[in-house]
Amino acid sequence: MQSIAKIVSLITLGLVALPCLLYFAGAIGIDAVKWTALAGTIGWFLSTPVWMSRKLSIDADEVEI
Amino acid sequence: MSEETSNSGGEFEREPVPDSALLGNGKFWGMYAGEHAAGTEFMIGPLFLAAGASLSDLLLGLLLGNLLAVVTWRFLVVPIAMAKRLTLYYQLERIAGGGLVKFYNVVNGLLFCFLAGAMVTVSASAVGVPFGIAFDVPSNFFGLSNPSFTALVAVVGVVIAIVAAGGYERVARVANIAAPWMIAVFAACGIVSLAQMEANSVAALTEGEFWSGAIATVQAHNGEQSFGFWQIVVFAWLCNGAMHFGMADLSIFRFARSKAAGWAPAIGMFLGHYMAWIAAALLLAALLKLQPSLAIMPVPEGDEDVGLPGTVVANPGQLAFHSLGWAGILCVVIAGWTTANPTIYRAGLAFQGVLPSRSRAAMTMVAGAIATIAGAFPNLSAQLLGFVGTYGTVLGPMGAVIFVDFYLMKTFGMQDEYADRSGARANIAVLIAWLLPVAVGLYLIFQQGLFAAYAVIPCWITCGVLYLVLSRLTQKASHRSEVNR
């Protein structure tokens, strides 16, 4: 189950990061980029909590800028 | 987890980290990879463009500034962290006394509230996009935005404060999960913006017209401004001054097994303070080129136009929406929320340290209220470059006290960790050494208009020297003789 979730996370992260390169290259339109990024975002937040249950980092309550 | 132990990392709060708990370098690289890509990046990046920084200055200045920051972590923080293996707060308590640490913590908490306020503004700017609520920045520093946006800030602030009052763990987990996605969204925003500006050829990228054209538009509306190479270098180096010069990251590196762990902040710096800042700046450039009406707001009532009608305002929600649609909006909301939440949580803990009879939840709500009020003044987020420098100026010098105490006190025949040895609640030498340069620094920033980041290192050095001199005057001879024996 966890390995499937990891693969889904990887694919969904790709949906966020890769279509913009196709848009940059002129292969797809901006609307396709926006909708795939949204689909990737939803998929990422559904699949990643299944496997990313790592221990909180030692500075999890620290403030970052 | 008790309130006490939750304050600074949870474990080994008042004892050196044992060898069995040390962590390998990989853990630090993994940890820092998700750091520094936060809600602030959506504000800071566009501010560089709005301030008139040239593209070459930005690319090279950020490179050098971030390198200097990494070197500072590696050679200033890590050696002390590994030698002492104590948290910043416990080290300060031993040097400055428990009472003074509480005062320092409250100052820290108040600054956190203002930082959280800026993040509430950032989140509200994104939430407002689907509702068509405009985000305008008044010229008066203490002016409010339009009533709809102010009401939205109140709603967002209350929600964030309530979640923070429930503890930081859940939010920290969301932040953990969101970090890789957020970095991907930042990168995507930058690439989309370049393509939107038709800067998708080597010639267009090297020519840089997409950037210089945007600066020309900003300056035509907002007036001439400049943000030079060294200003960028110093800002990038010192915007996290509280963490490296101020030694806040002692709490992290006390777990380091090897000094090489000190290079790990590089990944956070170059993802968050290089790629993300540049990507966020490109968002504003793209919006100015394609839909300037969304970035140029009418000047507030009572003000006059400096140049062309209107003023350029960086609205993070609008910028991200224009580039990546709803995924961009979600990124701004989550980035702002995951930054504001732990900030309010820690501020609540700091306030509770002064009023221990009050519950942490109540103190977190107080911190949330301060942050929400601060967030209602959009100039706070619009002035984030200055605020972050001020933050380093106020908190950074305490790192000089730790540096001098560790390296120089015994060399000059004085007692280190004096408050612990003398039983003092407040080491007067630390108090004066800290407040005096900070007061002068704040005067220069707010009254003389000094760029805030420029004050960090002079204040740090002055604080260290003053601490050494004042310790010579205030340490009792009996304590000093113990060292010389």
Q: Does A55 touch chain B (CB under 8 A)?
A: no
Pull the structure tokens for residue B96. Answer: 């400055």
Rg, Å, chain B Cα set: 23
Question: Is the same domain home to B100 and B194?
Answer: yes
Question: Is the same domain home to B344 and B436?
Answer: no
Q: B256: which strand partners?
A: B23
Query: What pLDDT score does B235 carry?
Result: 95
Q: Give per-residue pLDDT as tens, B177-216.
A: 898 999 999 999 999 999 999 999 999 999 999 999 999 9
CATH number of the domain to which B305 belongs: 1.10.4160.10
A46 chain-B contacts, CB cut-off 8 A = none
B11 falls within a domain: no
Evaluate if residue B37 carries a pLDDT over 70. Answer: yes
B9 falls within a domain: no
A34 chain-B contacts, CB cut-off 8 A = 324-327
Asked whether the beta carbons of B468 and B462 are under 8 A apart, the reply is: no
Helix axes B316-324, B169-196, angle to 10 degrees: 60
B441 falls within a domain: yes
Pull the structure tokens for residue A49. Answer: 């909590």
With CA atoms as reference, the chain A residue closest to B389 would be A65
In degrees and rounded to multiples of 5, residue B332 shows phi and psi of -65, -45
**Domain range for B217:** 22-383
Question: Is the same domain home to B474 and B357?
Answer: no
Question: Is the same domain home to B247 and B114?
Answer: yes
Q: Give per-residue pLDDT as tens, B53-68.
A: 999 999 999 999 999 9
With CA atoms as reference, the chain B residue closest to A13 would be B181
Question: Is the same domain home to B79 and B223?
Answer: yes
Evaluate if residue B305 carries a pLDDT over 70. Answer: no
Question: Is the same domain home to B410 and B375?
Answer: no
Q: Does B388 touch chain A (CB under 8 A)?
A: yes
Query: What pLDDT score does B483 carry?
Result: 62
Mean pLDDT value across residues B340-344? 85
ipTM of this predicted structure: 0.89
Q: Looking at CA atoms only, how far is residue B31 from chain A in angstroms?
A: 7
B368 falls within a domain: yes
Question: Is the same domain home to B49 and B103?
Answer: yes
Q: Give per-residue pLDDT as tens, B366-398.
A: 999 999 999 999 888 888 889 999 999 999 999
Number of structural domains chain B divides into: 2
Of B383, B417, B442, the residue that ends a domain is B383
Question: Is the same domain home to B351 and B437?
Answer: no
Mean pLDDT value across residues B449-476? 95
B3 falls within a domain: no
The pTM assigned to this predicted structure is 0.89
Question: Is the same domain home to B452 and B368?
Answer: no
Asked whether the beta carbons of B251 and B7 are under 8 A apart, the reply is: no
At residue B81, the 3 state secondary structure works out as: helix
Name which of A17, A19, A64 is nearest B35 (Cβ-Cβ). A64
Question: Is the same domain home to B281 and B156?
Answer: yes
Query: What pLDDT score does A55 carry?
Result: 62
What is the C-alpha to C-alpha distance for residues B428 and B121, in angstroms, rounded to an integer?
Answer: 38
Question: Is the same domain home to B379 and B422?
Answer: no
B4 falls within a domain: no
Instruction: B404-407: list long-range contacts, CB under 8 Å, 24+ apart.
Output: B404/B464, B404/B467, B404/B468, B405/B95, B405/B467, B406/B80, B406/B83, B406/B84
Of B322, B356, B383, the residue that ends a domain is B383
Q: Give per-residue pLDDT as tens, B231-273.
A: 999 999 999 998 999 998 898 899 999 999 999 999 999 999 9
Of B383, B414, B439, the residue that ends a domain is B383
Q: Looking at CA atoms only, how far is residue B161 from chain A in angstroms?
A: 15
Q: Name the band, by pLDDT with cuts 50, 70 and 90, for residue B478.
A: low
Question: Is the same domain home to B55 and B174?
Answer: yes
B85 falls within a domain: yes
Q: Give per-residue pLDDT as tens, B142-159.
A: 888 889 999 999 999 999
